[in-house]
Amino acid sequence: MIARCLAGTLLGFPLAAALLALALRLLPDGGAAFLIPALILFFPLWTGVMAGAYLFRSGPRAWLVLGVANALAFLALWGVRLAGS
């Protein structure tokens, strides 16, 4: 139980940040007009990831899936950034 909680808390934070940064990056003008709503949306998204971590069968599976999701989100963010500049 504690492993899933830690996975959701520790890996949910960067995952939520990467997903919101990716969404902002894909909007016109870098999403400058939506920065405040994105910041407000961050906490519910992070909380959702933390709650979703309890859906996994075990702690190691939660760490694995959330770790892979983080890697994919940051790779997508990096790819969008390279394509845009």
Q: Which domain holds residue 46?
A: 1-84
- 1 or 74, higher pLDDT: 74
pLDDT of residue 85: 55
Give the whole-angstrom CA distance, residue 41 versus residue 49. Answer: 13
pLDDT 10s digits, 25-73:
988 888 888 999 999 999 999 999 999 999 999 999 999 999 999 999 9
Give the whole-angstrom CA distance, residue 41 versus residue 5. Answer: 21
With 0-12 / 13-18 / 19 or more C-beta atoms within 10 angstroms meaning exposed / middle / buried, residue 41 is middle
pLDDT of residue 15: 96
- Quote the number of domains for the chain: 1
pLDDT of residue 29: 85
pLDDT of residue 1: 82
Query: What does each C-alpha distance from 70 to 34, 74, 75 come to in angstroms?
Result: 23, 6, 8
Give the whole-angstrom CA distance, residue 62 versus residue 80. Answer: 27
